[in-house]
């Protein structure tokens, strides 16, 4: 029996963690998996750390939120601090290596810590606009809950109208996705 994979994605407002979570959720749903996605939506949602809680499994999902995640992805120093509570010895903790001085804050109890240079790559190699798609690639590689093909299909569904206007955008997004997957592969 497969227990649901629990994922917490956290970042600053504007880093797109909610849209990433939603695209992954929809992709997994399309695959016929049981999926539950809930954003945190307290008063703090304006100007605070944004956290997306995502669970993907084969059986109906229990509680919408969870105490410990299988994968935590934190994209800012505040996000690292905020999400430490979801970490235990089974958790893979993914953070962006360009966050300065964050090493001290990383959860010592995590099963595994993966640093990925997503912000840097999006700036220097691709385009800052696809930063969240790199993260999406990282998440699907780290969790293996969604195949790359389905992730592409989900992107197509979500951004297809933009891709029609500008086919280069499609290439850029798919490249970002692949790059994100690669980063996790390497970090392992």
Partner 1 sequence: MAEKPIQGEKRVFMTGNEVVAWAALAAKAEIMYGYPITPQNEIMHYWTRLAPKFGKRFLQTEDELSAGFTTLGGVLAGRKAFTATAGPGNTLMQEPMSMAEMMRIPSVVIIQQRGGPSTATVIYSQQEVTMTTYGGNGEGLRVVYSTANHQELFDYTIKAFNTAWKYRFPTFVLGDGYQAKMRESLTIYDPEEKGLEFVPTETFLGKAPVNGVKQPVHLRNTYNTEEELYEVITRYMEEYLKVAPEIIEHREFSCEDADIVVVSHGVVSRAAKVAVQELREEGLKIGYFRPVTLRPFPAEELKKVAARAKTLLLVESAFGQMAKLVKDAIFGSTVALENLFKPGVGITSEEIVVRVKEIEKGALAK
Interface residues with partner 1 (CB under 8 A) are 22, 25-26, 29, 34-43, 60-68
Instruction: State the nearest-atom distance from the C-beta of 110 to partner 1, in Å.
Output: 18
The C-alpha R_g of the chain, in whole angstroms, comes to 15
CA-closest candidate to residue 24, choices 88, 73, 66:
73
Structure tokens at 21: 């979570």
Instruction: State the nearest-atom distance from the C-beta of 42 to partner 1, in Å.
Output: 5
Rounded Cα–Cα distance for residues 95 and 113 (Å): 8
* DSSP designation for 61: -
Among residues 62 and 160, whose Cβ is nearest to partner 1?
62
Among residues 44 and 120, whose Cβ is nearest to partner 1?
44
Q: Report whether 105 contacts 130 (CB < 8 A).
A: no
Among residues 41 and 120, whose Cβ is nearest to partner 1?
41
Among residues 35 and 119, whose Cβ is nearest to partner 1?
35
The answer for 92, left when phi > 0, alpha when psi is -120 to 50, beta otherwise, is beta
Rounded Cα–Cα distance for residues 91 and 25 (Å): 20
Give the total residue count for the chain.
188
Q: Which helix (H) or strand (E) holds 57?
A: strand 49-57
Among residues 64 and 111, whose Cβ is nearest to partner 1?
64
Instruction: State the nearest-atom distance from the C-beta of 14 to partner 1, in Å.
Output: 20
Among residues 29 and 97, whose Cβ is nearest to partner 1?
29
Q: Which residue has the tokens 């999400």?
A: 83
Question: DSSP letter string over 14-56?
Answer: TS-HHHHHHHHHHHHHHTT-EEEEEE--SGGGTTSEEEEEEEE
């Amino acid at each position: 029996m497969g227990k649901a994979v629990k994922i917490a994605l956290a970042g600053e407002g504007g880093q797109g963690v909610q849209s990433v979570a939603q695209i992954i959720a929809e992709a997994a749903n399309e695959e016929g998996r049981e999926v539950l996605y809930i954003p945190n939506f307290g008063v703090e949602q304006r100007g605070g750390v944004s956290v997306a809680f995502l669970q993907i499994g084969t059986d109906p999902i229990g509680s919408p939120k969870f105490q410990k995640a299988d994968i935590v992805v934190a994209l800012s120093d505040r996000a690292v601090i905020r999400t430490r509570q979801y970490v235990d010895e089974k958790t893979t903790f993914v953070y962006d290596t360009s966050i300065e001085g964050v090493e001290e804050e990383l959860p010592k109890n995590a099963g595994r810590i993966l640093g990925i240079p997503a912000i840097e790559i999006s700036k220097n190699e691709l385009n800052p606009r696809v930063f969240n798609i790199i993260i999406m690639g990282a998440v699907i590689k780290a969790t293996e809950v969604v195949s790359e093909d389905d992730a592409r299909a989900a992107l197509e569904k979500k951004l297809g109208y933009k891709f029609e206007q500008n086919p280069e955008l499609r290439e850029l997004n798919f490249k970002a996705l692949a790059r994100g997957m690669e980063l996790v592969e390497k970090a392992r």
